[in-house]
Amino acid sequence: MKQRLAILGSTGSIGVNTLDVVARHADRFEVVALTGATQVDAMLAQCERFCPRIAVMASAPHAQQLAEKIKQKRLLTQVESGASAIESIAGSTDVDAVMAAIVGAAGLAPCLAAARAGKRLLLANKEALVVGGEVFLRAVREGGATLLPIDSEHSAIFQSLPEDAATWGERVDKILLTSSGGPFRTRDLATLRDATPEQACAHPNFAMGRKISVDSATMMNKALEVIEAGYLFGMPPERIEVVIHPQQIIHSMVQFRDASVMAQLGTPDMRVPIAYGLSWPERIESGTPRLDFNTLAAMTFEVPDPQRFPGLQLAWDALRAPPGTCAVLNAANEVAVAAFLERAIRFDQIHAVNLMTLECVQPHAPDGLEALLHLDARARAAAREVVHGLAL
């Protein structure tokens, strides 16, 4: 039987790459549901090609536009709108697997719904773990869900770890997350304060969304990945390290107690971890070019510069802080990045917003989705106040 798949965030880069892999294996997968935010024409094209039973747009006006176009094309796809519809899809009995690729804290509720419903949950939304923390992991355990990481770094670690998760603590010395270093890895430190959104979004290896591109420039994406790795693999902060690897051929590594290192290598292409998540424990064709060792250039490694990337250390600080601190950090960073993209603050002030928000918001351990969302709202309000005080 075909695996029935829902793709949350199908018009984003992860969603598009997921559909590319799925299209290569029409005998294995059926696209049941797609969700998007505002890209009506892109969603329409996906509906024409994959014929999902349902398509959901985040807002009612965009859903109405899509519905009119769907009717004109005489497609059978049902159109709905809103967060509750997305959450309903994630937990639907008509769905076997959920690709969770909605960016930011907005993806938390549908991830929880999929976890509680015991789905095969392909997690590309790192915020579900960063914000959800133990609340999300508890839902995975209690729902009997299968949690598979899609971030290239976490997929690489998952592929490099022993199959028996119960032995990770005694066999693994540390996890090493690799990073490209982003567009400002070699830029003069004195000029970073004047970096523009366009420069920050010019990633050297990938074409990504604006928010994650800025996070790559500050290395806050890696800070969030450190937090995610701590939750995913049950590793204490002191056993997680970050190393800059500009070529991004090694996607991450695991060092074991006997000093041996297992690494996952490949062409920098998100279709590899997506294909692995879709087919695990098997492997299927991803459409990615093979790595050619005959032409491969030298691979280099660097220690992250704390002056260039001051936000990176916040990951370890947040993991050691009271529960809920990671959610505060994520909310502050989303507000800060949005303000930078709107040219309300300078690039170097993103870290200032994150740090000042952490200092003024003292979390209480959240016990469920409502508490998490309340904490997220508090942190965003505090971050906006900080931005207002710093505004150019």
Domain boundaries, given as residue ranges, for the chain = 3-149, 321-392
- 103: pLDDT confidence band, cut at 50, 70 and 90? confident
Report the CATH superfamily, name and number, of domain 3-149: NAD(P)-binding Rossmann-like Domain (3.40.50.720)
- Cβ burial of 258 (10 Å; 0-12, 13-18, 19+) is exposed
Mean pLDDT computed over 29-48: 97
* Predicted structure pTM score: 0.92
Mean pLDDT computed over 55-71: 97
What pLDDT was estimated at residue 345?
A: 97
Q: Which of 49-53, 68-72, 370-374, 382-386 has the lowest mean pLDDT?
A: 370-374
- 392: pLDDT confidence band, cut at 50, 70 and 90? low
Q: Establish whether domains 3-149 and 321-392 are of one fold.
A: no
Mean pLDDT rounded to a whole number for the chain: 94
Segment 126-151, tens digit of pLDDT: 888 999 999 999 999 999 999 999 99
User: What 8-state DSSP symbol labels residue 302?
Assistant: B
Sorted by sequence, the CB contacts under 8 Å of residue 85 that are 6+ apart come out as 35, 56
Residues 286, 268: Cα–Cα separation, whole Å: 12
For 55-72, b/e burial (b = at least 16 CB within 10 A) is bbbbeeebbebbbebbee
Residues 219, 236: Cα–Cα separation, whole Å: 20
CB of 5 closer than 8 Å to CB of 31: yes
Tell which residue, 34, 16, 25, has the closest CA to residue 282: 25
What pLDDT was estimated at residue 202?
A: 87
Segment 329-348, tens digit of pLDDT: 999 999 999 999 999 999 99
What pLDDT was estimated at residue 365?
A: 87
Tell which residue, 244, 235, 223, 250, has the closest CA to residue 173: 235
Segment 255-283, tens digit of pLDDT: 999 999 999 999 889 999 999 999 999 99
What pLDDT was estimated at residue 307?
A: 95
Domain spanning 321-392, CATH class: mainly alpha
